[in-house]
Structure 1
């Protein structure tokens, strides 16, 4: 009996100890912490005039490029220009041996003189026969024969004159003149070579550099826009750049011209249309055969609401932005009217509104935010030391 009481007492002590230990060590009821502010960066909606552009890849083409070929056979006696020389239309470029043609010209002139002398005698006789025919001094047949002789000699004189004109044309071909103003290309023949008019290679080419053109292709959906630009009273501006940067920005500006024409048909295979722009090229930065990037201003949005592209978010059915209102944000649906790699034009907000530009992934309507300041600009020093 004593042992049972002792055992019960020990059990009671153990239970009380366990209850006391649990009361001491049990975790305190957690308190609900206030939600922390989400750090974000913001921008203000600005209002400005924004031009719209369309870009494409084009090839620089000369407006006039001529391969200079001989039009008569002969020996090349003189070359009066050098490779790469600038020439004007009508400048003498080369001469061919003209002795044979000059001899033919002199022969034709001699034949004309002989025919004119015979015609003069025939006209005198015709006049005499006409006077005699009044009194029947000569027969009607003799008078008619003399008239026919006069007509024959006139035709012979005309033929001789035509031979002279032809020889003069052939003689002019022995002096090769530039048909256009431009730059002389690489020469393919030297003085002393015998040239034929059937030679396809020619002597060299003369290519016009200023002004110059750029031919490019655009999607067929751009046809109405280009037609509107062509019909506009002011010529549409076209810029040509040397390639494009990896971030999508254009390279060095090579020239500024205007849209000149649209091709008369669309390529049904590629669904593109060809167009051409003309450029003034006094500095010769545009060169025939060069590949360039062209940008055409298609429109100008006045007083447009402008934000960086990172501001606009894509929803299931539409676009939206987060607008800061005090220390919280609200979701505002917007319409994107135009967008490129640098900016977006939107509708649905007001100029001056503060919109979130970075940190949207953690946001929702009514979330509390903390606006971060922009980090200080890092100024890179340039080493101006001249290396030997």
Structure 2
């Protein structure tokens, strides 16, 4: 996937850009997209940046029948100095290939895919909003495209990157949410696809989320798929607890997605000198910590929200209010620190941010 071989076909008609206060997640898309095709024996070919448009696939394309698809999610930010900033994009491409491997899909060249991403963002840089809390959401994804109903890995694939300007995840600051602990449905099990970012995992979560919505909860807390007693993830985010001064997050166990934000949070906490443990944690332990007054904070972490404080956990009918339903000190500090690094408001001691040249242009 050599960058210099990317063909560029610029849109002749540009879309009207939405106002910053009208941005919602995943509803509007920029003028262009990156596309590359893969054929077994030939590798990746026909790499191009083209106007954003619908794609045409045969009804027998294997994506529709056997679900070979992986995706990623990251953001581009407009820094306070006018620079275009990406937050640890190499980690997303690395995880994309881990997901691809689990789904028997071909790898992309991570470095060159990043170059294609940068070129696409450069072309559509005017779409990056600069209002408080806004960003350009980036969705790289791959689908199987071979026309074949045999149950086997596809021999043809398409890799694409699309961009979407998004508003602030929280309209009025970061507010704690109510979480329902899920006892019936499971998200994933070790040996399954829980460690891959693939569509089937999200489709399987929708029923539990729908039922939680009907009961007035924002998200579900997933338990392990074997014993249904150990905490795994919250919604589509990783989860952290502050118990008696120590930060605890479930250890990666073969069914938990390795979040880029999760990894970043752990590094920041250790940088601050805080005690952080990656280990098994049961709902019984969380409940006992609450009863003992030691459950000080709980929060989810992910690309979209960065930090999502948890104000209440409902497990088997018991309402466990966390930190009086208020945003905790650590949750708030982590949110301000990560967003500060992403926007260039704070120093980046980890060398996480990748800046695009301010005067870059398309040739």
TM-score bracket for the superposition, by shorter chain length: under 0.3
More strand per residue: 1
TM-score normalized by the length of structure 1: 0.16
**Greater RCO between the two (CA within 8 Å, min separation 6)?**
1
Q: Which protein shows a greater Rg?
A: 1
**TM-score of the aligned structures, taking structure 2 as reference length:** 0.17
